[in-house]
Chain A
């Protein structure tokens, strides 16, 4: 009987502990994302990564950095595919410029940001995140067709907005 009771109490304690961990990590995600200009995007990105349940602000920054990287790689692939069949020289020039921008994001900005977050030098993460957002914006701006969007608009927007989120979260670590 006592065994069952102790098990029951143990289970109750465990559930209670589990409940408070869940509540506080959602709370951290919410309070952190409120300090970024893209709340919904921030919350969605963090919640869909299991690491967020035990992450501190630094950990949340890392998750967003990884997400920028993933989106950038996907967009780079899109650009490469478009380049294969391109005929229009203006479009080709813009796409080639975007290749350079996205290579910079993937090879320079994100690695520096991640290293900075790990080594607790947030200002380098803020700087790199700012540049990543600027690269995506510059890529979008380089397409001649205004006011309509470029063929890779959604990729550029995702990378840009997530970079801004990363910049905001990294700024909290300054």
Chain B
């Protein structure tokens, strides 16, 4: 869609599609007007039978929504997919803010042209700033499939997600939706929207979900930006990618987290795989894994640790470990770090560790952190060197598990079945193409670790022109 009308001249921005009862699609999107005011506009596919929906027709009397009283002209964007209320109306939410409180406004409509704004907000969280790309969807507490956006009921929870403008991260919270008054409350206010869990602890923003009615799954798609300089991006001629799509499920075991997992279609890119069983990694060692090329990989690894060592480890009252402020994979602790080194060269002059780090509190409680360390990922002078990660719940009896998708400069890592996910961009200068390798490592001081893993070479996806374009 081109920015060719006064109501979107300064930008055709984010929009969401809704599938109507008759199977037709409508698109609501934010336009930035000639005056720079954010408004919502309606558009329809020119040809409902075009599988690629290339051409669109804008509703002649746009905009259909303008910032309401009390909302700033630059704080009104990214309408969601609509869902049905019990009264049979369509309902959408739009993120905004009042001073520094992030909010979600609610509108009901029958025709996507005329709207009534509800008096109350869907939800608000002080101090979180502007909520961009708000998403709102149901998840089943019991079933292993996604739910259509309008579903509601007893064993259903609702997720509110917001992209925070102030820190460029995507946050979500699980809670209960009240259809009657269009409000939602979090299950755990201490991890409310914007102050608790994130979809991804690395580079991942403006993510949205959609419901795939064919495979009954809720699919998440996010934007992965670059972590190098714009100068480098201009040189290479492109910037930013969309992540491998992920399915989203409610984590029944913890009840507090969502699980993300790469869509099953990615498995079709697997070429030959190699298994490594019960590889023992002594404390303070690095084990090379002999696979051929290591730039396009799917790695599924499980780590077993000595429960004796966990018992014996002395707890410390220093409960302040955080991946971001730690010394990365080079900082040795009693019970960590250990994991994998990807996009590493033979001499380990460049390496990106993806790993677990366990700590034991003075109360004896174990905490597990899942981190991705970019500090030695590249010799280049213009790349990001931060360490990403977060706490990840590990339940009794669970082994530690990691899945990693490696694709040259993109690493998507899934801890504990997708309970914590970290995406990072790295730009090695030596650990590239044939020189890239994978290693297991254990830099803990008091722990021996045993790893079992399978590593597949990944083919490149076949992107072919769609016939009859």
Contacts and interface: CB of A to CB of B under 8 A. Distances in A.
B165 interface: yes
B31 interface: no
Interface in A113-133: 119-121, 123, 131
Contacts of A109: 230
Contacts of B190: none
Chain B interface helix/strand/loop/mixed: loop
Contacts of B74: 120-121
Interface in B11-66: 32, 36
Nearest to B13: A121
A12 interface: no
A142 B36 contact: no
B435 to A, nearest CB: 22
B229 interface: yes
Contacts of A86: none
B229 A104 contact: yes
A142 B249 CA distance: 45
A135 interface: yes
A45 interface: no
B272 interface: no
A135 B166 contact: no
B382 interface: yes
B461 interface: no
Contact of A101 (B10, B32, B36, B229): B229
Contacts of B130: 174
Given A120-B36, A174-B130, A104 B230 contact: yes
Given A101-B231, A174-B130, A123 B382 contact: no
A138 interface: yes
Given A100-B231, A104-B234, A109-B230, A134 B382 contact: yes
Contacts of B381: 137-138, 141-142
B95 interface: no
B253 interface: no
A74 to B, nearest CB: 19
B129 A174 contact: yes
Interface string B375-419: 000000110000000000000000000000000000000000000
A134 B166 CA distance: 19
Chain B contact residues (Cβ within 8 angstroms of A): what range? 10 to 19
A173 to B, nearest CB: 9
A134 B32 CA distance: 29
Contact of B229 (A123, A138, A174): A138
Interface in A75-133: 100-101, 103-104, 108-109, 119-121, 123, 131
Given A108-B234, A141-B382, A171-B166, A119 B229 contact: no
Interface in B230-274: 230-231, 234-235
A14 B200 CA distance: 58
A141 B36 CA distance: 39
A169 B381 CA distance: 26
B129 A131 contact: no
Interface in A138-174: 138, 141-142, 171, 174
A171 B229 CA distance: 20
Contact of A131 (B73, B165, B230, B235): B230
Nearest to A171: B166
Contacts of A141: 381-382
Contact of A134 (B10, B73, B229): B229
Contacts of B32: 119, 121
Contact of B382 (A119, A121, A138, A171): A138
A144 to B, nearest CB: 11
Contacts of B10: 119
A174 B231 CA distance: 25
Interface in B71-103: 73-74
A135 B231 contact: yes
Interface string B183-214: 00000000000000000000000000000000
Contacts of A103: 231
B201 to A, nearest CB: 19
A174 B234 contact: no
Contacts of B382: 101, 134-135, 137-138, 141
A174 B166 contact: yes
A121 B76 CA distance: 12
B166 A131 contact: no
A33 B424 CA distance: 33
Given A135-B382, A141-B382, A142-B381, A123 B231 contact: no
Contacts of B235: 100
Contact of A123 (B36, B165, B230, B234): B165
Contact of A121 (B36, B129, B229): B36
A104 B231 CA distance: 6
Given A100-B231, A174-B166, 13 more contacts: A100-B235, A101-B382, A103-B231, A104-B229, A104-B234, A119-B10, A120-B36, A120-B74, A121-B36, A131-B229, A134-B229, A135-B230, A174-B130
18 contacts: A100-B235, A104-B229, A104-B230, A104-B231, A109-B230, A119-B36, A120-B73, A121-B32, A131-B229, A134-B382, A135-B231, A135-B382, A138-B231, A138-B381, A141-B381, A171-B166, A174-B129, A174-B166
Closest 5 CB pairs of A and B: A138-B382, A141-B381, A104-B231, A119-B36, A142-B381
